[in-house]
Structures are given as structure tokens and as C-alpha cells.
Structure 1
Amino acid sequence: PGCPSLLHCLESQKIDVAYQCREGYCGACRATLVSGNVQYNEEPLAFVRDGEILLCCSKPNGNISINLK
């Protein structure tokens, strides 16, 4: 709660996550959404397949489960 993005939340918990741009352009922070839903702060410009999310520009919408790549 209170985190601007999933990437920020994971980093605040000392979880090492790959990223580059932090703005939805590069797709380096993509992860698999196992369960739950997210909402995007802004629509990502990187291609995102079904079942994938970008951690840098999304927030959980309730409880979620993810797999980091």
C-alpha cells in the first residue's frame, strides 16, 4: 500500500528485479501475472503478452501473485 508501482514495492522489500527505463518503454521488468489483477498508471508502450505485466508502471488491484522472469 502506498507504493507508486509494483517495481517500487518489490524494491522496498529488497527483492532484486530487472528493469531499465521505469516508464513502460523497454519491457525489461516484465513478469507473469499468476493470479489477480493490476491496473496501469499509464498504458505501457512495450509489447505485453496476455498474462504478462510490466512492474514499473502497474499497481496491484487487490491481492496478486506474480512470477518474476
Structure 2
Amino acid sequence: MKTVVIAGVSGFIGTHLKNHFIKKGFSVSSIGIETYKNENKLLSILEDADIVINLSGANIIHRWS
């Protein structure tokens, strides 16, 4: 099974991408703020990734979801 890692999975696009990949049979992992604070956890998640998608960041009105 292929693994997709999505940073910013809680946003609008991230939520839809996560659901899309799950329906297609992918394993989906996410990277959140707490993951960035733990280097070992971050590296562990990224080591298993086949695809990495970065959607993290503030939106146009500078709000984080």
C-alpha cells in the first residue's frame, strides 16, 4: 500500500485530498504543528512516505485552520 503524507490536512483542500486518497486505497498520514516540534516523529513519518504534499500555512486572511 502506498503512503501519502499531507501537511495541512485539516484545511479545506487537505481534507478533500485525504478523503480522495483513502478512497483510492492509500494510507494517509498527517503532519501537524506537534509533529514539527518532534524531529524523530517527523523523520519517522517521512521515511515511510511515497508521496508528500505540503498544504500548510496561513491563508489569505492569515488564519491557521
| Alignment TM-score > 0.5, same fold | no
Decide which structure has greater strand share: 1
TM range (shorter): under 0.3
State the TM-score, normalized to the length of structure 1.
Answer: 0.25
Higher radius of gyration, 1 or 2: 2
Decide which structure has greater helix share: 2
Q: Which structure's relative contact order is higher, taking Cα pairs within 8 Å and 6+ residues apart?
A: 2
